[in-house]
Amino acid sequence: MKLQIFDSTLRDGAQGANISFSVDDKLKVIHALDALGVDFIEAGNPFSNPAEMQFFQRIAGLKLRHAKIVAFGSTRRKGVEPAEDGNLKSLLAAGTEYVAIFGKSHIRHVTDVLKATPEENLAMIGESVRFLTEHGKKVVFDAEHFFDGYKADADYAMRALESAANAGAHTLCLCDTNGGIFPDEAERITRAVCERFPDVVVAIHCHNDGDLAVADSIAAVAAGARQVQGTLLGFGERCGNANLCSIICNLQLKRGYECIPPENLKQMYGCAMEIAETANAAIRPNQPYVGMNAFAHKAGMHADGVLKYSSSFEHVDPEAIGNKRKFLLSEISGKSAIYDKLKNYFPTLDKNGAEMGKIVSALKDRALAGYQYEAAEASFVLLVEKILGKYKNSFDLISYKIISEQPAIEGKVASAIVKIRVGGVTKIAAADGEGPVHAMDLALRAALSDFYPEIARMSLVDFKVRVLDSDKATAAKVRVLITSAGGADGWTTVGVSDDVIEASWIALTDSIDYALMRRLAKISP
């Protein structure tokens, strides 16, 4: 059965904290969602400000393969005729085939918030829908606070829907605006609506304040809803909206509904990454389906089981939605997981040989010292190189010195002096930086540049510090993660010490050493 997917990332999602889209961002989101195959894209409220109206005018001639653009607004204001209402006129001017308008369906909201009589509110709904339909628009009526309103006065909530349906609404959308209902309530109430209005598309729109928006949406579909509204990554006000990634994957992979074209399902992970990047927002690593750890295995028993029979610890095939299986390297990883991670780097490594035993043992010993390699694969590869006797250092450190300077001079607060040796030749270099690690990075690369000119294409892009034993206060051991990039490639290294500068130096030299080893083809890329 085909379901309609209605994405509100650009309207409801943009109301989330720290989410903001430029015009170019909005266009990227529209094209990404259209390529994925959603049916509707709610692009904003043209009445809210002139920039929104200009955006609708800009996209009026946009050619999309799948999606219909929807303009959002509200019913007419109390005491204002539809033809004179600025909000309704802006919806006509937006030039979209579909419009969505919200109206009150909770009796207390009508009397206490809107300050209108029950009949006056019903007239506002019906007249607004009729005005838009008479001007050629297909109207999605969002019944605001519908589920709470139904529980407070079921008859009035239904009359609000009836007013919209009788006026020609294309879709009746049941909104859990406060995000607090349970799945059994969503199913029971949605079924009642579907039975009352069998000839109209019934939609579900859930917020996630009870962490149940996905479950509520799926329950509503089971009860007969044929359109699901949400935002692709769950962006939205307060706790967010129903996450369409999870809803689409669950319904299409497990319940047999067609939410998007089947051939597009493998684009889900890529689309999620693109929209997250456009919104400058990180996807939770453990987010179902599209999180980077959604199919990551750490425990040795789990990894071994997945390698032998994938569904033993994976509820779906990660490749079905474009994600990938990942094995995390840690002290609890089994030999099978470690071998699977290393076989691409060391094709001749024997899974059952003595060297694998040494690698597993070293991993556990390093864990005791505070090292973790889950996010620092490059450092682990260097460690294995040393265990296998294949490591050949690209340079030797003779000494380094860090000098802090206050007040800052032109933004520089630290200086570093580095002395290294390459092939019997000693080189000293110094640099000023915005911090000690920045200064060390610049000084080390300056010292190495005469020997390895291509190091100029490498850059440090991320730096993280974690205190491992905070009860020791300033004497605590710290773990430093450094992420570097060269061209399209990126890699992360780790250092541990009770001195943050030394931990940073360990991670930094590992990063450069790894890059140079790859350049010299000593390990597989």
Outline where 172-212 has alpha helix (H).
183-196
**Helix, strand or coil for residue 430?**
strand
Other Cβ atoms within 10 Å of 315 Cβ, number: 12
Burial degree of 199 (CB within 10 A; 0-12, 13-18, 19+): exposed
Most confident segment among 30-39, 343-352, 415-424: 30-39
Mutual angle of helices 268-279 and 244-254, in 10-degree steps: 180
* pLDDT confidence band for 292 (50 / 70 / 90): confident
Find out whether 58 and 43 touch, Cβ atoms under 8 Å: no
Cα 59 to Cα 63: distance, rounded to the nearest angstrom: 9
Residues paired with 327 in a beta bridge = 297
Looking at per-residue pLDDT, the higher value among 366 and 430 belongs to 430
Q: In angstroms, what CA-CA distances link 384 with 297, 338, 346, 504, 518?
A: 20, 11, 9, 21, 14
Residue 362 in tokens = 């070293």
Please report the pLDDT score of residue 158 as a whole number: 98
Specify the pLDDT at position 366.
82
Query: Is residue 207 pLDDT above 90, yes or no?
Result: yes
- Measured at the CA of 426, the angle between CA 420 and CA 428, to 5 degrees, comes to 60
Which architecture, in CATH terms, is 396-519?
A: 2-Layer Sandwich (3.30)
Q: What end-to-end distance do the CA atoms of the chain give, in Å?
A: 45
Q: Whole-angstrom Cα distance, residue 491 to residue 83?
A: 60
* pLDDT tens-digit series, residues 337-363: 677 777 778 888 888 888 888 888 888
Task: Identify the CATH class of 4-279.
Answer: alpha beta
pLDDT of residue 525: 35
Whether residue 452 contacts residue 516, with contact meaning beta carbons closer than 8 Å, is answered with yes
Min mean pLDDT across 1-5, 203-207, 317-321 is at 317-321
d(CA 367, CA 465): 17
pLDDT 10s digits, 439-484:
998 999 899 998 998 888 888 888 888 887 655 555 678 999 988 8
Query: In this predicted structure, what is the pLDDT of residue 521?
Result: 43
| Residue 53 to residue 509: CA distance in whole angstroms | 53
What are the boundaries of each domain within the chain? 4-279, 296-368, 396-519
pTM: 0.72
Report, in this order, helix, strand and coil percent for the chain, each rounded to 5: 45, 20, 35
H helices of 280-406, in order, are: 300-308, 335-342, 354-368, 377-387
Task: Determine the Cα–Cα distance for residues 460 and 77; give it in Å rounded to an integer.
Answer: 55
Residue 82 confidence (pLDDT) = 96
User: What is the percentage of the chain residues whose pLDDT exceeds 70?
Assistant: 90
- Per residue in 118-166, pLDDT (tens digit) is 999 999 999 999 999 999 999 999 999 999 999 999 999 999 999 999 9
Least confident of 2-16, 62-76, 385-399, 403-417: 403-417
* pLDDT attached to residue 362: 83
Torsion, Cα 362 367 373 374, to 10 degrees, reads 130
- Chain-centroid distance of CA 207 in Å reads 17
Structure-token pair, residue 256: 């047999």
Q: Which of 121, 128, 123, 78 is nearest to 99 (CA)?
A: 128
Calculate helix-pair angle for 213-222, 183-196, nearest 10 degrees.
40
pLDDT reading at 231 higher than 80: yes
